[in-house]
């Protein structure tokens, strides 16, 4: 049974940046306003996320790493309407099957009792001292949650071998943190690595930064000055969608497309959207056709199918062609405006 869990977990969590994405979404779900990421050896040795969110109740710690038993899902109908990011209740469970996972957490109500430190192995809570019950261990700490993932894939050699060099994995980590920092401008994010040459933070955003501030911080000044805002609210229409974002104009020169796509606040990919945007830019700006587009799309949650791929990166949604049509129309009039 545990082998099956381990293999299944390896299909959901492919690399440190994957795990990180799930952990960031949990922190955001818990209303955090400060999220710090620390990585060692590209997150393969250590991946630590410290947030100042709601924390986890002591009673919930035991269920934390059991698949499909998360506190966010009260009953099956909730699955259809749940608004939050992850809703399959398998991220922490998966991570606990392929790493050494420690959770340190404190809710705001737990003022007298201290925070709890809990270790998990194969989805089960345990304490390192064998003769004690698997009771959460008290320790000092701040409000919020710290998730510590150590030795990712120590028990699935083929996954470990498939990973790139630490530097490359760290670049992916920075990419994920940067994109979530942009989408969640106003939440303070930081990301740093520790190791032989410990340096300062590679990403550090502040509590009151605007979206454009954060885009500039992550992608540089040259992008920032080329961007225009767009939005379209069709929540009352049969399509029931709303989208907004920033798109580059003809002043922007780049060798590759940059698309930051968030659907219902989750960083995803959608090949059809990517292709349609690339075609639009190619026909509008034949000389500098590569776009930078940040697009936040909100659709009825029950219309999004995230189960196309286990990592939930590529998604499909209902009325996809019609919705893409609306996005392209909005971008088109923006580009016309920029061009004149
Ligand atoms: P899901 O997010 O799909 O519910 P996860 O495995 O990602 O499943 O998380 C399990 C549960 O653990 C969450 O539903 C939430 O209640 C709790 N949790 C996880 N991370 C945090 C966090 N950083 N702060 C507060 N609660 C958390
Ligand atoms: Mg989650």
pLDDT higher than 60, residue 282: yes
Same structural domain, 103 and 20: yes
Query: Do residues 281 and 256 lie in contact, with contact meaning Cβ atoms separated by under 8 Å?
Result: no
* Boundary of a domain, candidates 156, 171, 204: 204
Higher pLDDT, 154 or 305: 154
Q: Is residue 210 part of a domain?
A: no
In the reported structure, the alpha carbon of residue 200 is separated from the centroid of ligand 2 by a whole-number distance in angstroms of 29
pLDDT in tens, 27-55: 999 999 999 999 999 999 999 999 999 99
**Ligand 1 proximity of 64 Cβ (cutoff 6 Å):** yes
Whether the per-residue pLDDT at 13 is higher than 50: the answer is yes
Portion of the chain with pLDDT greater than 70, in percent: 85
Q: Verify that 193 and 251 share a domain, yes or no.
A: no
| Residue 318: inside a domain | yes
213 is a domain residue: no
193 & 48 share domain: yes
Q: Which domain holds residue 239?
A: 220-339
Please tell me if the CB atom of residue 17 comes closer than 6 angstroms to any atom of ligand 1. Answer: no
Whether residue 278 lies inside any domain: the answer is yes
CATH code of the domain in which 94 resides: 3.30.565.10
Buried b (16+ CB within 10 A) or exposed e, 137-158: beeebebbbbbbbbebbebbee
One domain for residues 193 and 278: no
Asked if 89 and 232 sit in the same domain, the reply is no
pLDDT at residue 207, rounded to an integer: 94
Same-domain check for residues 80 and 166: yes
107 in the same domain as 178: yes
The string of pLDDT tens digits covering residues 143-157 is 999 999 999 999 988
Name the residue at shortest CA distance from atom 1 of ligand 1: 89
Residue 108 domain flag: yes
Q: Give the closest residue (by CA) to ligand 1 atom 8.
A: 89
pTM metric for this prediction: 0.90
Q: Average pLDDT for residues 16-28, to the nearest whole number?
A: 95
Asked if residue 242 is part of any domain, the answer here is: yes
What is residue 275's predicted lDDT score, i.e. its pLDDT? 96
Same domain, 187 and 278: no
ipTM score over 0.95, yes or no: yes
| Inter-residue contact 174 to 180 (CB < 8 Å) | no
Q: Please work out whether the CB of residue 36 comes within 6 Å of at least one atom of ligand 1.
A: no
Domain count, the chain: 2
Once rounded to an integer, what is the mean pLDDT over residues 241-255? 92
CATH number at residue 252: 3.30.230.10
Ligand 1 mutation pick, 49, 70, 145, max ligand atoms within 8 A of CB: 70
Predicted local confidence at residue 94, as pLDDT: 87
What is residue 331's predicted lDDT score, i.e. its pLDDT? 97
Residue 212 in any domain: the answer is: no
In a domain, residue 168? The reply is: yes
Q: Are 229 and 290 found together in one domain?
A: yes
- Cα separations (Å) of 2 from 5, 7, 14, 68? 5, 9, 18, 16
Residue 288's pLDDT is what?
A: 74
pLDDT at 87 over 60: no
Q: Are residues 85 and 171 in the same domain?
A: yes
Q: Which of 174, 204, 234 is the last residue of a domain?
A: 204
Regarding whether 280 and 135 lie in a shared domain, the answer is no
User: From the CA of 87, how far away is ligand 2's center (Å)?
Assistant: 6
165 and 257, same structural domain? no
């Amino acid at each position: 049974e545990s082998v099956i869990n381990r293999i299944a977990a390896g299909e959901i969590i492919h690399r440190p940046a994957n795990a990180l994405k799930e952990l960031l979404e949990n922190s955001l779900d818990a209303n955090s306003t400060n999220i710090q990421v620390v990585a060692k050896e590209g997150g393969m040795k250590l991946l630590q996320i410290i947030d100042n969110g709601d924390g986890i109740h002591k009673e919930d710690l035991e269920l934390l790493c059991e698949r499909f038993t998360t506190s966010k899902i009260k009953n099956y109908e909730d699955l259809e309407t749940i608004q939050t990011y992850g809703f399959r209740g398998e991220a922490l469970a998966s991570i606990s099957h392929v790493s050494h996972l420690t959770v340190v957490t404190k809710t705001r109500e737990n003022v007298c009792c201290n925070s709890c430190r809990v270790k998990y192995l194969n989805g089960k809570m345990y304490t390192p001292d064998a003769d004690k019950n698997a009771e959460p261990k008290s320790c000092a700490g701040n409000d919020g949650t710290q998730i510590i993932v150590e030795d990712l894939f120590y028990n699935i050699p083929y996954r470990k071998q498939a990973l790139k060099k630490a530097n490359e994995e760290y670049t992916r980590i920075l990419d994920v943190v940067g994109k979530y920092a942009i989408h969640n401008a106003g939440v303070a994010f930081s990301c740093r690595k520790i190791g032989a040459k410990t340096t300062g933070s590679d990403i550090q955003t502040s509590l009151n930064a605007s979206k454009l501030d954060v885009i500039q911080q992550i992608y540089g000044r040259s992008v920032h000055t080329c961007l225009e805002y767009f939005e379209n609210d069709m929540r009352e229409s049969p399509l029931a969608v709303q989208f907004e974002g920033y798109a580059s104009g003809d002043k922007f020169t780049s060798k590759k497309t940059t698309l930051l796509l968030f659907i219902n606040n989750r960083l995803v990919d959608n090949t059809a959207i990517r292709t349609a945007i690339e075609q639009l830019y190619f026909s509008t700006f034949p000389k500098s056709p590569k776009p930078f587009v940040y697009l936040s799309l909100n659709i009825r949650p029950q219309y999004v199918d995230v189960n196309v791929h286990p990592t939930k990166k590529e998604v499909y949604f209902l009325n996809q062609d019609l919705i893409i049509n609306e996005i392209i129309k909005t971008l088109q009039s923006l580009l016309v405006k920029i061009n004149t």
